[in-house]
Structure 1
Amino acid sequence: MEYRALGGTGLSVSVLSLGGLFVSVAGGPFDRAREAVHHAQARGVNYIDTAPMYLDSEDVLGRILADSTEPVILSTKLGSRPQPFNPRDPAALLESFETSCKLLGRDQIDILMIHEPDRPRQFDWWEAMDDARGPVMDVIDRLKGEGRIRFAGLGGTTAYDMARLIRTGRFDVVLTAFNTSLLWREAWHEVIPAAAEQGMGIVAGSP
C-alpha cells in the first residue's frame, strides 16, 4: 500500500481508503461488513470515513474496530442528526458529535467534517457561505480547542460552490464526492485547485 501526507495535517493516509456508506445495513449483514473492514486493514488501508447519514455505519464500525489492533484514522461528519435536524442549533450539533464518539468507541475524532456544506436546500448551515460563518464553526472551534477533534473538514458533492468555503482557509481536509474519476473530472476545475492553494488534504469520494 502507498501512503501520502493528507495536506498539512501531518497524517499519513493510505492512497485507498474505505468509505462507510456500505459498511452498514445497506451493504448487508454485520459479518460481511466485518469481513470488508478486516480485508481492507490487512491490505494496509488506514483511513476510514463515515457519517451519521450512512445509516448504522458508525455503530457497525465501532463494533468492528473495537476488536482491531491496527491503527485507524477516522473521519465522521455533522449532519442529519438528531431529527428533526437544525444545522444552526449548537446544542444539537454537540449532541450529534457525542453520539458519534459513543458509537465509534472514541473520545477523539481525527477529522470532523461538515456534511453537504454546499447544498443549502439540504442543510442550511451558513449565515454567510463566503465567510464560513455559522454556528457550526463555533462548535468545530470549541471541539478543536478541547482536543476532541484534530482536524476540520468539508464533505460535499458540488464541484464549484464548495470552493467558496475552501477559500476561507478554515478547513484542513476536503472530501469531494462523485465528481472526480477517469470519466468525470469536474472537481479539477474548482474544488481541487482551491484545496491545493490552501494546502488542504484532498479525498476523492466514490471515484
Structure 2
Amino acid sequence: MMPRKRLGRTDIDISTLGLGTVKFGRNQSLKYPAPFELPSDETLRDLLACARDMGVNLVDTAPAYGYSEERLGELLRKERKNWVISTKVGEEFEADKFSGEGKSYFDYSAKHTRLSVERSMRRLRTDYLDLVLIHSDGNDMEILTQTPVIHTLQQLKQEGWIRAFGISSKTLEGGMLAAELCDTVMLTYNPGHTEEEPVIAKSAQHDTAVLLKKVLASGHICHDASPVQGAAQAFHGANAPEPDPIQGAFDFAYAHAGVTSAIIGTVNLQHLRANLMKALRAQNLA
C-alpha cells in the first residue's frame, strides 16, 4: 500500500503518489509525446479503483484540465470522503472545437479566484476543497507579490471553503518565496530538470509540503533517458546497466526526503499499475 505523509503544516494526510487528471478531460494543446483520445467513464472508474486499492488518496485536477473536474465530480460523488482533492485557480483553458486547438488565459483577481473556487466545488460536487493551488503563468513573483490571489486563498481557508493552499510554480525564485507563504509548493523535479531543487530544502525548513509534477517529464522520460543513464553511470561507473528510465525517475524523486508526494498522470491502466509498483519500489516498499 502507498504510504502517506502529512501535507505540510495541515492535518491532511496524503499518499506519497498522487493521480494527475489532465488527460481525464483535455487533449488539446498539450506537450505529451503522442496525441490521445479522452478515456471513457469506464476506463476512468478502473483507473481510480486501481489507485484507491493501492492506497492512493490524492487526486489532482484543475479548471484548465478541460472536463476533468466535472468527470471527477461524478466519478467520486459516492466516495468523496476517501479522496484528497487538489484543484487550481488562475488558469482558464478555452478549447476550439473546430481547429482542435485551444488557448489559456490567466486571471489572479480576488473576484475570479472566489468564482473559480465556487465553480470547482460545484463541478466536483463537494462543499469544500482539500487543496487549491495557484496555476502559474510563469510570472511567479508577480503573482505572489502583486496580485490578491494569496490573500484571497487565505481568506477562503479561514472561511472553511478550502483546507490548504499553495502554488504550482515555474521558477526557482517563486518556489522559494512560496515555501514561506504557502501550505504547499508544487514544482517540476526530474533527472533532466533540477533547477528548482533548492525549493525542496527551503520547504522543509518551513514545514511546507512539496508536490512534484512532471516526474516522468510529461511522458518524455522514455524518449530521452540520457539524464537517468548519466545518474546511473555516476553511481555504478561506465559499465552501468541500461536503466529503466521510469524506475530511475521515481528513484530520483523519492531519494529527496523533503518530497511529500509525486503526481503522475495516465489513462492507461497497465501503465498505472506498473508505475504504482515502481513508486513503491523506489520507496523500498515493494
- Normalised by the length of structure 1, the TM-score is 0.83
- Give 1:30-41 correspondences, 5 Å limit: 30-41=41-52
Point out the more displaced range, 4-13 or 106-115: 4-13
Map of 1:165 onto structure 2: 177
Map of 2:150 onto structure 1: 137
Residues 1:40 and 1:82: Cα distance change in structure 2 (over 3 Å): closer
**CA offset digits 1:51-74 (Å, max 9, x no partner):** 111111111111110133661111
- Within 2, Cα distance between the matches of 1:184 and 1:21? 21
- 3-state SS of paired residue (2:153): helix
Q: Aligned letter for 2:114?
A: L
**CA offset digits 1:113-137 (Å, max 9, x no partner):** 11116x13xx8963xx4xx342112
Structure 1 residue aligned with 2:195, among 150, 163, 186?
Answer: 186
Q: Percent identity?
A: 27
Map of 1:202 onto structure 2: 210
Residues matched between the structures, number: 195
Consecutive unaligned residues in structure 2, runs of 5 or more: 28-37, 95-103, 216-286
Map of 2:20 onto structure 1: 19
Structure 1 residue aligned with 2:121, among 75, 82, 101?
Answer: 101
Deviation at 1:85, TM superposition (A): 4.8
8 Å contact kept, 1:14–1:45 = yes
Q: Aligned letter for 1:165?
A: L
Deviation at 1:181, TM superposition (A): 2.3
Map of 1:56 onto structure 2: 67
- 3-state SS of paired residue (1:141): helix
- Within 2, Cα distance between the matches of 1:53 and 1:193? 29
Map of 2:265 onto structure 1: none
- Within 2, Cα distance between the matches of 1:53 and 1:69? 21
8 Å contact kept, 2:131–2:165 = yes
Deviation at 1:163, TM superposition (A): 2.6
8 Å contact kept, 1:81–1:96 = no
Q: Which has the higher helix share?
A: 2
Residues 1:88 and 1:7: Cα distance change in structure 2 (over 3 Å): closer
Larger radius of gyration: 2
8 Å contact kept, 1:87–1:136 = no
Point out the more displaced range, 47-56 or 137-146: 137-146
Map of 2:168 onto structure 1: 155
- Within 2, Cα distance between the matches of 1:48 and 1:155? 15
